[in-house]
Amino acid sequence: MSMNILVVIPTTESQREEFRAIMPAARFVFADQRDTPTEDPRDFEIILGNVPPASIQASPRLTWMQTSSAGSDAYVRPGVLDPATLLTCSTGAYGQAVSEHLFASVLAVQKKIELYRDDQRSHAWGDEGAVTSLRVATVLVLGAGDIGTAFARLCQAFDSRVIGMRRHPLQPGDPFDEIVPRDRVYDVLPQADVVVSFLPSTPQTRNLADASFFAAMKTGAVFANGGRGDLVDEDALVEALRSGHLAGAALDVTRTEPLPADSPLWDVPNLLVTPHVAGFYHLQATLDNVVALAQANLRRYAAGEPLVNVVAR
């Protein structure tokens, strides 16, 4: 019996032919994760792309799954995957898209673009006052992986001093001027003019950005989050913004998505919120990267070679 492979990634016909050429004897089914699936994911030995976690139901038939996302926390929860199923992810595909989105968001907040957009909508010709800059600013990047490193490189163009925080710190090197472990975050928070997070959701990161975290930040600093929404105590962030302790903030992720209509985040003037759109496939290069990673790992799988981006479970 031939192997059944479900590819839940938007693909062109030429890309589909490339997949088939890697494993000619396999049966491929191509779909888009935004569509209602027409086949049961439990009928496949390999899934490339994201399907609803509940649809897998720890299928013993599934030998390998590669997420089309960099994050894979939804699939490491108990009962989603069979213990024998190998899980890999698309780390490395999103660095350009997410870093550019958060970089643009930080600049917009520093220049009060969101306030001027509000003025435009209300037909008000006003002056929102002093602004800040990334030029020679100190930037703290929480999560110095692929996306955080891409963001740090953008900051280099502004001659920013960039401090990276990661669970297993390495020796500092381009583009980071300093790298610290997580237990030193409160040592460097008071130095930062801008704090940006790309951290995943883990027991150690949930609610990391709480009232104490924001109080430790420099008065007039900017906070931005492009990682996971459960990093932030949203009430504490609202208070830090409304009190004037923070100059502004930008969020591409929130604790509950979609953001509830009654959330106070909607009405904070110096807060820019975007609906988790930094990643996905809005930038064509991201989709190209996801497809290339899936094809590269499929070649390794077919050759019996170790896969890349293996997720520890």
52 Rama sector, left if φ>0, alpha if ψ -120 to 50, beta otherwise: beta
Nearest to 219 by CA among 200, 197, 191: 191
Six token digits for residue 62: 């599934």
Choice among 276, 299, 300, 313 that is catalytic: 276
- Whether the Cβ atoms of residue 272 and residue 284 lie closer than 8 Å to each other: no
State yes or no: is 18 an active-site residue.
no
CB atoms within 10 A of CB 34: 9
CB atoms within 10 A of CB 258: 9
Tell me the C-alpha distance between 50 and 70, whole Å: 11
Choice among 117, 257, 282, 305 that is catalytic: 257
Helix (H, G, I), strand (E, B) or coil at 115: helix
Helix or strand run (H / E) with residue 27: strand 27-30
State yes or no: is 245 an active-site residue.
no
State yes or no: is 276 an active-site residue.
yes
Choice among 166, 228, 234, 255 that is catalytic: 228
Please list the residues that pair with 209 across neighbouring strands: 232
Six token digits for residue 75: 């699939």
| Peptide bond between residue 258 and the one before it cis (omega within 30 degrees of 0) | yes
Q: 238 exposed, middle or buried (CB, 10 Å; 0-12, 13-18, 19+)?
A: middle
Q: Mind telling me the catalytic residues?
A: 228, 257, 276
